[in-house]
Amino acid sequence: MNKIFHKIAYVLIALTLISCAKQSSPMGGPKDETAPILLSSSPKNESKNIKPKEINLEFDEYVKLETPSQSIIITPKVEKDKVEFLAVKNRVLITLNQELEDSTTYVFNFQKSIQDIAESNPAERLKLVFSTGSTIDSLTVSGKVDYWFPKAKEDYEDLLVGLYIDQDTLDLFSSAPYYIAQVDTAGKFEITNIKAGTFRAYAWYDDNNSLKTEYRSEPYGFISEPIEVNKNLEDLQININRADLSPLKINRSSNSGSNFDIILSKELANYEVTHEDKNSKLYFRLKENNLRFYHTDLVNDSTQIRLQLADSVGVVVDTTLYARFEESERSKEKLEVSSKGSIKFTDTIKAKLGFNKPLLQINYDSLYMMYDTASIIPITPSMLFLTDSTGSRTELNISIPINDSIPFEKYKLVAADSTFKDVENLFNEKQFEATFNRLKKDNLGDEISGTIDTKEGPIMVQLLDNKGTVVTEQYLEGTNKFSFTKLEATNYQLQAYIDRNGNKAWDPGNINLKKQPEPIYYFMDQETKSKELILRGKWTLNKQVIYKRRESGLLVNKTEDENPEIEGLPLNVLEITEDYLLNN
């Protein structure tokens, strides 16, 4: 009996000890809404001439640590993988496991990493500063981070700003910065306790909490020139965007049935094919990072092709290779047709058709616009044109004027089976249809017009819907005035960019070349700060001004536009005639 009693006593004692050691939320009572308060720290805040091995923090209640290795920002940079974090009852112990630098001010910014046990309330504005030398460095760099293109709802979570010592070879792609700060919910940042010196400044989106950026997928921004920090800098602007810096190269080339494929390392911004049989016997199409070639004559033979490839950051590859075309029994890819343009119109239907293979021929007898169940408008060669300047012949534009005498609202573009023939002599197997809706003229807005606040050009100005999709655009050369007419009555946004290289696409810059993205302009009401324009039926919104988005750098006293005007390079537009389609 005594043995049984002793065993029960031991179990009760053990359970009591376990329950005492385990940190848990108290049951019942009012909800804890107060944050933990720091009672003491070792070392004390702003201590000098110390090199602690450990940091000990005592709070007024039990606390826990939330992802401390990611959330606690330590500047200057330390070997964070060596640092150990531990929360026990009302204390936090940080073991550094490394030697600190001489005459250096260290800052531990705890952000929201230390929380109470009961309700996870984080300790507020908790920061510990100490120096291994006789002085506390006190210089600061502050400013704002923005996206190059304004968003309806700016998301600043996981954005970091870092300073790298100018003489170091490290950067935001290879290592954590020397000084670092988290961006707040308004996009603002402040890096404190900096030692005087020259630094390179970057901002980036740190999705994986690595304290550096992934150049393929994460947005980032930079200041082109190093900044001298010998006084407090209070107005540093850094704009971020995605710019894939991965090398542009041909990963492999091989036959694909009777065709020849070139697989690229990344998607292209532009390319040029040079060959004497281009669009007479040699055809091609680009799909993502696959450039496929077709030849109507060559079988079991090869031909030399010159390629000039360019990616979005301006890297150019100029190469010549041999494409071999083999006889093959593999089934050919079927011809597919898709609609890519807007389905709304006022006076002219502007249809845009996409093809998965180069288009060779059109049967106009089976291509028409239908209305009123049976009435049709024949489509003629003069209504068609290609807009792909590369000559791949995979995008066809159809412009169909609709006379006011035709009072209907819905129109259906019809391409019967066997209307389109591709370079492999295959026809579309199924009938293709696309419906277009005519906007009522009584409900149309008359005009949105104005100026872009710049003397530089050429300019691409774009009208966007409330989802940020481009509705229409104008390319301005020799002027900064724009006008969009006969618009659907709804809400719009306006933006523009300076097309410095004349390629009719916004270029994101190149950090390796210290080349900033092309300047962005956008409309914002100066009183309400709204980015939206409200257009109602028969309204005219004129004298709208599209202002420049502040570029990355320190604010200095200078005029907005100091860049010389740049002449634009027109986009090549290839008109298709019936003879051209039949003979090419």
List domains and CATH numbers for the chain: 38-131 (2.60.40.1220), 139-240 (2.60.40.1120), 250-325 (2.60.40.1220), 337-438 (2.60.40.1220), 442-554 (2.60.40)
Integer-rounded Cα radius of gyration of the chain: 32
Instruction: State how far the Cα of 394 lies from the Cα of 360, in Å rounded to an integer.
Output: 10
Instruction: State how far the Cα of 65 lies from the Cα of 122, in Å rounded to an integer.
Output: 9
With 80 as the cut, is the pLDDT of residue 272 above it? yes
Instruction: State how far the Cα of 238 lies from the Cα of 220, in Å rounded to an integer.
Output: 9
Give the Å distances, CA to CA, from 43 to 107, 278, 418, 452: 12, 74, 82, 57
Residue whose structure tokens are 């301006």: 314
pLDDT at 88: 95
Beta bridge partners of 456: none
Task: Supply the mean pLDDT for the chain.
Answer: 88
Instruction: State how far the Cα of 250 lies from the Cα of 303, in Å rounded to an integer.
Output: 18
470-482 pLDDT, tens digit each: 999 999 999 999 9
**Cis (ω within 30 of 0) for the bond into 43?**
yes
Helix, strand and coil content of the chain, in percent to the nearest 5, comes to 10, 45, 50
pLDDT at 556: 63
- Cα-based torsion angle of the residue sequence 257, 262, 265, 269 in order, rounded to the nearest 10 degrees: -120
The pair of three-digit structure tokens given for residue 484, joined into one six-digit string: 């969009």
The pair of three-digit structure tokens given for residue 386, joined into one six-digit string: 């290609």
Residues 415, 418, 421, 424, CA torsion sign? positive
Q: Is 545 in contact with 454 (CB distance < 8 Å)?
A: no
What is residue 241's DSSP assignment?
B
Q: Is 117 in contact with 23 (CB distance < 8 Å)?
A: yes
User: What's the whole-number mean pLDDT along residues 35-56?
Assistant: 96
61-96 pLDDT, tens digit each: 999 999 998 889 999 999 989 999 999 999 999 999
pLDDT at 152: 65
Q: How confident is the model at residue 374 (pLDDT cuts 50, 70, 90)?
A: confident
Instruction: State how far the Cα of 525 lies from the Cα of 535, in Å rounded to an integer.
Output: 14
Say what the pTM is: 0.80
With 70 as the cut, is the pLDDT of residue 312 above it? yes
